[in-house]
Structure 1
Amino acid sequence: MSEVEKAKSFAALHVKGSPVILYNIWDAGTAGAVAASGAKALATGSWSIAAAHGFGDGENIPLPFLAEIARLIASSVDLPLSVDFEGGYAVASDDVAANVSKIIDAGAVGINFEDQAVGGTGLHPIALQAERIRAIRAMADRRGMPLFINARTDIFLQEADTAKHAGVMDEALDRAKAFEAAGASGFFAPGLVDPDLIGGLCEKVALPVNIMVRPTTPDNATMAKLGVSRISYGPGPYRAMIEWLKAEAAAVYR
């Protein structure tokens, strides 16, 4: 498939009630393993890629290195690839768009793009984040690439008390509406775990909704019934793999 065909195929996988499941990877080896297990698409996790290569999360892994990892993944497996691109390695819209272009060059047909101020505090204002998304979409359109922009809000992750998530739902909905108008393809709400709130978000947001698996999220079948269109595993697979590796090594060195 061409990159454009992969992008269209990836978008078509986002079906409300029949979600695409992304078991997040961090290099070409894990990409091959997950692809061989039956995945229909691949997605990196920023935390996992950073940790696997000796960096902390939060855009600490150099952008050229991240692009090279993406290139190696994309060239090793013939599946659509989405790259967790955090905050775009810049704040200014034009700079963000130029950086995303490098990830498209590497073979990605989708990105996660978050609204938290990476390296700072809080979230970018809605208008600024919408402007950044608009710039990415305009760049991708100029390139003829139907890039899947998975617009992520960190509003739920930044409120650690899940009992207070209902109180920030209105702002989340405002963000979803603004991001959709700016050209986003999907809406990612990591940290949201309450079934009623997940269902309400899926009902009120026109974009395909992405939920990240956490210990207290509903199971995948339940999330499908709630209207979720995309389920991702974030750093979970990496953390599980490292615990397995530590246990195996400990048995050898006992």
Structure 2
Amino acid sequence: MTFRERHHGGAPLVLPNAWDAASARIIERAGAEAIATTSAGVAWSLGVPDGDRLDVDEAVAAVTRIVRAVDVPVTADIESGYGDVARTVRLVRDAGAAGINIEDGLVAAPERIAAARAVGGDLFVNARIDTFLRSAVGVDETVSRAKTYVDAGADGVFVPGVYDPAVIAELVSRIPAPLNVMAGPGAPSVSALAELGVRRVSVGPAIAAAAYSLVAAAAAEILTEGTYGTSDATLTYGDLDGYFAH
């Protein structure tokens, strides 16, 4: 089943988001059918804050490394397109990505979806709608934007920031495309989301934040207590080194 087909059959496609080659390989080894990048995690790993601050060439280089590190499809979070949407999508496609996420923000942005569709070939275009993250304007505006994006060429719709099962069910019933939600603390479980009709589940920067939290805790322990308990990792040096021996 192709990456595109996977949005239409079976259980929801679950995508624990990666931010570099190592995290992508680890997530693949855990059993992921595909890898989704997190723009926040990629930005942090390159020393800049999230929010379209990445240089497009650095962003594409990160996608390229991730694609090379895994054998499963990769879908790339390109934020709002890094300026020239068509150029960014072309670069990401040529890097080997199978899909993209592209976001709107405070106002609808169907021209970004149209530009991505025009150059993206068979890329799965996932249109992120930020109504619940930024503007809180509700279901009707979300559905209106979703329909506009589908008309512009979106293959799927991503609505992060919504956790209420009743709202999720309404979005599923009213949006004419596979729905992606962002799970995390306070969200329904994957099985519950499946029952609601969600087709794709991702976690945004949550795993990257958890990994960096471990770095902070381990560093604080050794610097203040002089002990190493936090650094007692489950994955050994040999495990991690072996992940890249293929």
The verdict on a shared fold, with TM-score over 0.5 as the criterion, is yes
Q: Which residues of 2 match residues 67-106 of structure 1 at below 5 A?
A: 67-90=60-83, 95-106=84-95
SS at match of 2:146: helix
Query: For each residue in 1:140-178, what CA deviation from the matched residue of structure 2 results, as whole angstroms up to 9, or x when unmatched?
Result: 2xxxx311110011010014xxxxx5x621111111111
Indicate the SS of the match to 1:113. strand
Cα deviation 1:105-129 (Å, max 9, x = unaligned): 111111110011xxxxx22xx4xx2
- 2:82 maps to 1:112: no
Q: Is the 8 A contact 1:18 1:228 kept in 2?
A: no
Residue matched to 1:47: 40
- Give, in angstroms, the shift of residue 186 of structure 1: 0.4
Instruction: Classify 1:211/1:16 alpha carbon distance in 2 versus 1 (closer, same or farther; 3 Å).
Output: farther
Give 3-state SS (helix, strand or coil) of 1:82's partner: strand
Written as runs of structure 1 = structure 2, the 5 A alignment for 1:23-34 is 23-34=16-27
2:114 is equivalent to residue 139 of structure 1: no
In structure 2, the residue matched to 1:247 is 217
Shift of 1:135: 2.0
State how 1:138-217 maps to structure 2 within 5 Å.
138-140=118-120, 145-159=121-135, 168-217=138-187
Please report the TM-score for the alignment, with normalisation by the length of structure 1.
0.84
Q: Give RMSD over aligned pairs.
A: 1.5
Gaps of 5+ in 1: 1-7, 117-121, 160-164
Deviation at 1:17, TM superposition (A): 7.0
The residue that corresponds to 1:119 in the other structure is none
CA contact (8 A) 1:16 1:224 kept: no
Aligned mates of 1:181, 1:51 — CA distance in 2:
34
Which residue matches 1:10?
A: 3
Letter in structure 1 aligned against 2:191 = A
* 1:35 match: 28
> Is 1:22 equivalent to 2:15 in the alignment?
yes
> How high is the sequence identity, in percent, across the aligned residues?
39
Offset at residue 211 of structure 1 (A): 0.3
User: Does 1 or 2 have the higher relative contact order (CA < 8 Å, sep 6+)?
Assistant: 1
* Cα drift, residue 216 of structure 1: 1.6
Q: Is the 8 A contact 1:17 1:225 kept in 2?
A: no
1:28-82: CA deviations, max 9, x gaps?
0111100111010001001111112210011112110111111111111111001
Distance 2:9 2:49 in 1: 34
Q: Please state how far the C-alpha of 1:221 moved relative to its aligned partner.
A: 1.0
Deviation at 1:12, TM superposition (A): 1.6
Residues 55 and 82, structure 2, Cα contact 8 Å, conserved in 1: no
8 Å contact from structure 2 (residues 90, 119) kept in 1: yes
* Aligned residue identity for 2:97: A
Contact 1:23/1:237 (8 A) holds in 2: yes
Query: What secondary structure sits across from 2:101 in the alignment?
Result: strand
Query: What TM-score do you get using the length of structure 2 for normalisation?
Result: 0.87
Larger Rg: 2
Q: Distance between the aligned counterparts of 1:218 and 1:17, measured in 2? A: 19
Aligned residues: 224
- Does the CA-based 8 Å contact 1:16-1:208 persist in structure 2? no
1:190 counterpart SS class: coil
